[in-house]
Chain A
Amino acid sequence: MIEAIAALVNADPAIVRWGRGMNATFMVEVGDAQYLLKVQDGKLALEKGPFVMRSWSFAIRAKEECWKKFWQNPPAPGWHDLFALLRRGDVKFEGDQRVLMAYLLYVKLVLAAPRNA
């Protein structure tokens, strides 16, 4: 489902505006599959891995079945927000937490966008 994420985000100005000023690349892992999400002023580009020695600002990693539940529309209780998964230990945040927290609303809206695919 993540394949459609860039088109969904870039077509929605209500999401893009929350990423204004963000120029960073972050990693999302869906199980073993790696994706780099490159953000330029709120606009998103997706690149599928695997990658060798690529840099990223922060990484968000979860099992494939977790993302599947997260991307259901509507999601069930406990699967509706990244921090819900965080409290249970179903998702891991690594890297530069400052960038993640500075753009947390944007990142949450971006990662929830595949629900509308």
Chain B
Amino acid sequence: MKIEPIVGRYARISGCRMYFEEAGQGIPLLCLHTAGSDGRQYRAVLNDRSITKSFRVIAFDMPWHGKSSPPAGWQKEDYRLTTGAYTGMIMEFIREMGLERPVVMGCSIGGRIVLDLALKHARELRALIGLQSGAFVERYYDAAWLDHPEVHGGRACGAVAYGLMSPLSPETERWETVWHYMQGGPGIFTGDLHFYQVEGDIRSRIGAIDTSVCPLYLLTGEYDYSASPRDTEAVAARVKGAKMTIMKGLGHFPMSENPEAFLGYLRPVLDEIRRG
């Protein structure tokens, strides 16, 4: 038997009972999961001794996701994530947990929101890492089908997530990633996509990001077509000082679909941040 060093706890934050996992000591590194999934996507980062010896890695499940509860009265309304609510929730978590100038790393919707954090909270953060960052993705399929009584949401969400991964990523890790999607509550993936594909268009604002206050790293898998290398390149072209890397052979969920390859890209970034 092997017991992992990851510890999971609950906290009352943003009016919700929120679940988070952590491992390691040192510089706080807060990890933001993708739309419709949860913090388990960062299992390999939390288990990587070379990272946790210098970083306190924390991954929460957003309210409504994973083991976190939705707010009281959730049954009366549609869940719809917005830029303001997302950034507000992240900063409240940081304050309530007493995390001092953390590094924040987010993927997909998390890779989008780090751009908003760079604009609004740069001085409170040590560095930002955007995985699969794009400033906006226009709708190219009808996400309403992912929350429809005549379509099994878990199966449909899993099918969408499956295709976003690289065919070169290990099968076991890909299907683990699909499983997380299949476990999401009804309407949660769709509600997150409201931010990603409708409300959260940050294109007109990203030119004001100042990377001399808070460094910004952009890592994008080449097989992603939702936040494609071209989308990330467009961000990097607008944000002076952003450091971009295109990750060969990886897709939309690099930390979860191919942890070993992803860690090879992440460790040098964290070393650079640690050296300051």
Q: Which residues of A contact B (CB under 8 A)?
A: 18, 74-75, 77-78, 80-84, 86-87, 97-98, 101-102, 104-105, 108
Contacts and interface: CB of A to CB of B under 8 A. Distances in A.
B163 A77 contact: no
Interface of B: 140-142, 145-146, 148, 150-152, 155-156, 158-160, 162-164, 166-168, 222-223, 225-226, 228-229
B150 A102 contact: yes
B247 to A, nearest CB: 11
A97 B228 CA distance: 25
A101 B158 CA distance: 11
A83 B156 CA distance: 13
Contact of A74 (B142, B150, B151, B168): B168
Nearest to B229: A77
A83 B167 contact: no
A74 B123 CA distance: 44
A17 to B, nearest CB: 12
B145 A101 contact: yes
Contacts of A78: 223, 225, 228
Contacts of A108: 159, 162-163
Contact of A83 (B140, B152, B223): B140
Contacts of A82: 163
B168 A104 contact: no
Contact of A80 (B148, B152, B166): B166
A59 to B, nearest CB: 16
Given A77-B166, A83-B160, A98-B148, 18 more contacts: A74-B168, A77-B225, A78-B223, A81-B164, A81-B225, A82-B163, A83-B140, A83-B163, A86-B140, A97-B142, A101-B146, A101-B148, A101-B151, A102-B152, A102-B156, A104-B155, A104-B159, A105-B159
A102 B163 contact: no
State the main secondary structure of chain B at its contact with A: loop
B225 A84 contact: yes
Contacts of B142: 97
Contact of A75 (B156, B159, B167, B222): B167
A64 B68 CA distance: 47
Nearest to A88: B225
Nearest to A104: B159
A57 to B, nearest CB: 14
A104 B156 CA distance: 6
B266 to A, nearest CB: 20
A104 B162 CA distance: 10
B225 A87 contact: yes
A83 to B, nearest CB: 5
Contacts of B151: 98, 101-102
Closest 9 interchain pairs by CB? A81-B163, A105-B159, A104-B159, A101-B145, A84-B225, A87-B140, A77-B223, A102-B151, A77-B222
B156 A101 contact: yes
Contact of A98 (B150, B164, B166, B222): B150
B185 to A, nearest CB: 18
Given A97-B145, A98-B150, A105 B155 contact: yes
A87 B162 CA distance: 16
